[in-house]
Structure 1
Amino acid sequence: MKQERAERTRAALIEAASEEFAEQGFAGTSVMKIADRAGVTLGAVYFHFRNKGELARHIVAGQPELVVPPHASRGLQHAVDVTLTWACQLPESAALRAGARLVWEQEQFTAAEENSHRQWTEIIVEDMRTARSMRELKAGTDVDALARVVVNACTGAQMHSFVESAHADLPRRVQEIWEFLLQAVAVPSAVKRIELDEARGRTA
């Protein structure tokens, strides 16, 4: 019973912190605001997290676990599906919105070796290595560089989409990224079979 209560409190803190960070950013969020929003005491916050920086790092590090494509896929299609799922879920997910905003501000709460861009790049590069083994990529394609390009492009799309449409057009921006990239790096047979429809990223 005590363990269950502790787990509920921790979950409430993460949700409240996600909402605060998404709305106010790292600098504009205080531990007191998080505690008030979660309906817990300051002591409860510090029992689970040393400070708001640790909370922010936890939220950023947990982003990939939230992005689970609804369709099974491999290689290039999986990379497409991961980015489309992220783009479709982000407007409705406080945790993903917080992660996106905190990425801009991570120099305020991370050490030099911590890098959320690297985290996503490692995920995408695995898909690109699979794509290479499936002969979906043109000969000589640098899969590490390609993964960085995908992550950098999606990060930029997210920033512009936030300013211009509050993320409403983010899925379309991600589709556009892939429309150009696939023509540049994928073999014609792969280009033909890769699905870019927004529905790939939406659960039923």
Structure 2
Amino acid sequence: MAGSQSEPKQERAWRTRAHILQMAAELFAERGYATVTLQDVAERASMTKGAVYFHYKNKEALAVAVVHEHYVRWPLLLENVAARELPPYETLVTVLDRVAEAFRDDIVVQAGARLQIERSLIDADLPEPYVGWEDYLTGFVKEIEKAGDLRPGITPRGAARVIVAAFFGMQHISDVLSRRADLAERYGELRDVVLAGLRA
């Protein structure tokens, strides 16, 4: 009986934490880390500041939670693409298509990316950015190479590093200049120039 009574309370707590995190992500994406306060988050979430403190002890903890949630998005996306069992090059392109859509549409992804750029302002340990993507895409490009589709002279690791630099630079520039309104256009250009340039 006690367990059945505690479950709704735990679920409410989970929903409250998720709501606070979503509201914080909106603010971090809009304004960056430095100018956002827990009071701002509380007001955006229609809660008291004390209620926010109950779930997140300070702004650093909230920023870390947003960044971690950013990274939680990727495994499911990658699994969904892998389930389609496309050829290696098409798999690579489809993964980046989905990631571009996430950067365009998902406020938590946008906030996590901005917080990683502003990591020097955050007095907390954040996951290391970019390296995981470089490792992951290196594996993809190796598969393209095995399939005989990689242009001669290109190394898988070098290709992965260029793709990561081009992609994350592209989305950041789109954010700064147009709040990502032109992200689809910029990503299309990256596909045509960088990704198409991988093929033999």
Contact residue 117 and residue 151 of structure 1 kept, 8 A: yes
**Mapping 1:3-152, distance limit 5 Å:** 3-66=10-73, 68=77, 72=84, 73=86, 75-109=88-122, 114-139=127-152, 141-152=154-165
Based on CA coordinates, which of the two structures has the bigger radius of gyration?
2
**Identity percentage of aligned residues:** 32
Contact residue 84 and residue 175 of structure 1 kept, 8 A: no
Report the TM-score, using the length of structure 1 for normalisation: 0.76
2:166 aligned with 1:159: no
Report the TM-score, using the length of structure 2 for normalisation: 0.77
Q: 1:45 corresponds to which letter in structure 2?
A: V
Q: Taking CA–CA contacts closer than 8 Å with sequence separation of 6 or more, which of the two structures ends up with the larger relative contact order? A: 1
CA 1:74–1:113: 2 relative to 1, 3 Å? farther
Q: How far 1:113 moved relative to its partner?
A: 7.6
CA 1:87–1:184: 2 relative to 1, 3 Å? closer
SS in 1 for 2:181: coil
CA-based RMSD? 2.7
Q: How far 1:12 moved relative to its partner?
A: 0.3
